[in-house]
Amino acid sequence: MSQLISAENFAKVAQFGDLFKEGLVITLLLSLLTVLFGFILAMVLAVMRLSNVCPFRFLGLTRDGHLREQGFLVALSRFNPVSFLATAYVEVFRATPMIVQLWIVYYGLFDKSVIDLPRVTIFGFIQLERFLPGVVALAMNSGAYLCEILRSGIQSIDGGQTEAARSLGLNQRQNMRFIVLPQAIKNTLPAIANEFVTIIKESSITYTVGVKDIMSAVNATKGSLYIVMEPLIVATVMYFCLTFPTSKIIAYFERRMSRGDKR
């Protein structure tokens, strides 16, 4: 009986070195794109959730144009379909497993009959028709989580900031862009960094739809060599090398951005 972990086996895994290298690049690209699109989605969702679009507002006004005080019409006048949509999205994506979302996106949304992606291979090893659904699913999922992070960050900004901005004549958009969002993003950087690290780890699930990431290299090695611990250890080291520096880099930017907080 062979030992659980042996140097000999590591040597065998080395034959699959290229698979692991490509897997590393794919995991990295997957996470970067997810972070980018997830963050954009989250900003849109957060602004939607905190928006003030009330199409039935006029129902809450009395004949002479002042606010009604109570009743069904007041509730209806406060209904915000934009915020409702964003809230529903966030709740659904946070209440269902990642793998279900990934499979629905891959087998449902990117089915040939719905969105037919060309069979393109980028850099010789990234299969677009598997990679892109992976990015989309991960970004849709992390967008929901990042939205909640951003939203709590936005709400934690002192209301006096908005009042000062509006009293200077800035409109709601400018207030968001110049005053609220920069402070909210800064305050939530640690939480956002955590989410980025989570994405790198969660992206490993995309091997189930055939994305050739690090985890997929483990799977391939296991399948042909019947060894599992050694490739897993290689994968562990690789994931750690991705996540650890990421949190350090973000911590550095956090320190730089907090200049305004220090004496």
Partner 1 sequence: METRDSLIQVTDLKKYYNKGTIKALDGITVDINRGDVMVVIGPSGSGKSTFLRSLNLLEEPTGGSIIFDGVDITKKKTMGPDGKMVKVDIDKHRQKMGMVFQHFNLFPHMTIMDNMTLAPIQVKHMDKAAAEEKALALLDRVGLKDRAGAYPIQLSGGQKQRIAIVRALMMEPEVMLFDEPTSALDPEMVGEVLEVMKELAQEGMTMVVVTHEMGFAREVGNRVLFMADGQLLEQGTPEEIFGRPQNPRLQDFLSKVL
Which stretches of 156-228 are DSSP H helices?
Answer: 159-167, 172-174, 181-202, 214-225
Does 63 contact partner 1 by CB under 8 A?
no
Q: Which is nearer to partner 1, 28 or 257 (CB)?
A: 257
65: left (phi over 0), alpha (psi -120 to 50) or beta: left
65 makes contact with partner 1 (CB under 8 A): yes
Rounded to whole angstroms, the Cα distance separating 123 from 110 reads 22
| Least separation in angstroms between CB 185 and partner 1 | 10
Q: Contact between 53 and partner 1 (CB under 8 A)?
A: no
Shortest separation between residue 184's beta carbon and partner 1, angstroms:
10
Considering the complex, what minimum distance in angstroms separates the CB of residue 182 from partner 1?
A: 5
Q: What is the smallest separation between the CB atom of 221 and partner 1, expressed in angstroms?
A: 49
| Distance of closest approach, residue 258 Cβ to partner 1, in angstroms | 9
Residue 53 or residue 164: which is nearer to partner 1 going by CB?
Answer: 164
Q: Which two tokens stand for residue 202?
A: 């969660």
Structure tokens at 104: 């629905």
Q: 55 or 108, CB closer to partner 1?
A: 55
Show contacts with partner 1 in window 141-170 (CB under 8 A).
Answer: 158, 160-161, 163-170
Estimate the share of the chain in helix, then strand, then coil, as percent rounded to the nearest 5.
75, 0, 25
Task: Work out the burial of residue 221: count CB atoms within 10 Å of its CB; fewer than 13 is exposed, 13-18 middle, 19 or more buried.
Answer: buried
Q: Which of 198, 222, 216, 182 is nearest to 12 (CA)?
A: 222
Q: Restricting to residues 164-223, name those near partner 1 by CB under 8 A.
A: 164-171, 174, 178-179, 182-183, 186
Task: Note the residues at the interface with partner 1 (CB under 8 A).
Answer: 65-67, 69-70, 158, 160-161, 163-171, 174, 178-179, 182-183, 186, 257, 259-263
